[in-house]
Amino acid sequence: MANGNAANANQTGPSRYELMAREPDSRVIRCKAPDSFPMADLVGRADGVLKTLRNRSTTLLPSEQVDLLIKEYCEIMMNLDDLIERMHEACKFNYKRPRTVVRIKAVLQGTVEENNSSGEKGKESVNGEKDPAVD
């Protein structure tokens, strides 16, 4: 065997992105519209700083300030969810609210206690029609 690497050159393993997608705490986002790319980028930026705020809330900032920042972030997400629902209604599409959003809304409204779960996969249906944006 003149070149030991020649046999391995044709065999490629999963890409870095495929490996990341297999992680239990990862989500794959398929952006169908160019307007979605900035949102996906923002989510990545927010994830890192939210983890830092939660893990070092007592050493980085006063816990009250961390709580206010995280609550403001959640409220902005809920406002975005409301806008997305209105956009679905305008297109006469069924809006399937993610369970994680339902849970956050309940926590913000004080109807459910907050817990440390990372979220659940799946959607909760609001109307009866199928949304073509969700495959």
Q: Is the pTM of this model over 0.75?
A: no
In this structure, are residues 123 and 97 in contact, taking their beta carbons and an 8 Å threshold?
Answer: yes
Mean pLDDT over 36-43 rounds to 93
Chain centroid to Cα 92, Å, comes to 24
What does the pLDDT look like over 41-84, one tens digit per residue?
Answer: 999 899 999 999 988 777 878 888 999 999 999 999 999 999 99
Domain ranges of the chain: 16-125
- Euclidean distance between CA atoms 69 and 74, whole angstroms: 9
